[in-house]
Amino acid sequence: MNIQIKRKLIEIISISDQKFKNVILSLRLFKPLEKIENTKLALLSFLIKDRNEKYPTKKEIRKLKDNLYGASFRTSLFGYGPLHTLELRLTAISETTVEEPLQLKQLQSLKDFLYYPLITEETLKEAKTNLASKLYRQNENPMNSSIKRSFQILGKDTDLGVSTQGELEDIEDISLTDMVSFHKQLVEEAPMILFVIGSFKDSLIESINEEFADHQPLPTTAQYNVFSSTEKLEVTETSLVNQATLVISYQTNRSIADENYYALRLASLILGQLPTSLLFQEVREKASLCYNISSSIVAFNGLMLITTSLDEKNVLRAIDLITKQVQRLKGGDFEEALIDGAKQLMLSNFDSIEDDEFSILSFVSDARMLNNPKKIDYLVSKYNEVTKEMIIEAVKDIELVLTYTLKGNSDEAVNE
């Protein structure tokens, strides 16, 4: 996988591979993750993908995509530690596949979406409706809302507590003038990277620097947080739910750039991501307290989460069992077979990366945010080198910082 990085006018990270039939243009803009501004960016994500000044109706946008041989266009929002990221992604058939000059048309359409969105009272009203509907749906999911609340509690007055998807409470206060000014500032000041993945001709890279305006570069320093707190919080809230939701947060005291991060990732798999994991076997299989339970690493914020849904009467027992499994992990009370299973799962993920454009995009974008352009072979070797002793070392400093429980607020409400 030959990665090319150019930082002339706009930073371009490209991987050309003729085995693919498509090309992905993933344009990413970065800004600090801040309250109010996060909702503006969420609204803009709807405004940008919907229509633009050159193609002012949804019908014309559909025709544009058809003329590009069924190209797809989407926007996404996500965070990298302190940064809020807006992605504009065009996926289209490669010019090398159809032998028709498509590259410049594809690039021009992406440029039109970025620079010329149709921002009017009508389109803003529609974007507000769509964003509100999306956030209502997310909030109605007990697990999604519980994780979000956990971040808000832990990250009060910091970027950890700010949602990348925006906030319902801020939507109506944002005016048309606000959005026009926000878009102008974003395209003029936000750092930008364009990832080009798939099958394309070299002339595409030359065209990018001709078509796109100058943008300040994203700093090459790694972009991540390491959460740290001296508190150990317990929070219980209520809602109209039939089951309790439990989110237990640990600070890992390690960054994603830590040399022992590879062992930490495997530790999370051993704890709660394998069918033979400690949590799955003890809390689900033996104690029958829940249908599913898992652990995960919030890589760019230095947290580990354990999540499950279960009957309210089982919450305290589950917390006790979860605590014991974490102590087992820290004490090395697990079989070598679990390490082997964790490595197999991790390495199988690496095996498939180079066969899928979207996996390549995810891999190289994460590497760029860490300023760590390691090759897959290197990462495979690092995971293979992990020993039981390294796993114990990696988890020795993890600390409980929040036990969050969402319960039903009454029998009557739950049964409505």
- Mind listing the pLDDT tens digit for each residue in 344-403? 999 999 988 999 999 999 999 999 998 877 789 999 999 999 999 999 999 999 999 999
User: Helices 121-140 and 176-189, interaxial angle, to 10°?
Assistant: 80
| pTM, entire model | 0.92
Domain ranges of the chain: 3-211, 233-414
Cα angle for residues 257, 263, 264 (degrees, 5° grid) = 70
The CATH classification number of 3-211 equals 3.30.830.10
Given this model, what pLDDT does residue 1 score? Answer: 55
One DSSP character per residue, 149-189 reads: HHHHHHTTTSGGGS-TT--HHHHTT--HHHHHHHHHHHHHH
* Tokens matching residue 271: 């704890």
Given this model, what pLDDT does residue 374 score? Answer: 76
Question: Domain 233-414, what fold?
Answer: Cytochrome Bc1 Complex; Chain A, domain 1 (3.30.830)
Specify the 3-state DSSP secondary structure of 346: helix
Given this model, what pLDDT does residue 194 score? Answer: 95
Given this model, what pLDDT does residue 284 score? Answer: 96
> Which residues are CB-contacts of 225 (< 8 A; sequence separation ≥ 6)?
81, 82, 159, 160, 300, 301, 302
d(CA 96, CA 357): 16
Share of the chain above pLDDT 90, in %: 83
The series of mean pLDDT values per 10 residues for the chain, 416 residues long, is 53 92 96 96 96 94 93 95 96 89 93 95 97 96 96 94 97 98 94 94 88 78 89 95 96 93 97 97 97 96 97 97 98 97 94 92 92 85 96 97 90 42
d(CA 106, CA 99): 14
Side chain identity at 297, as an amino acid letter? I
Given this model, what pLDDT does residue 411 score? Answer: 52
Q: Edge to edge, what strands does the sheet with 244-251 contain?
A: 233-239, 399-408, 244-251, 303-310, 290-298
d(CA 84, CA 48): 17
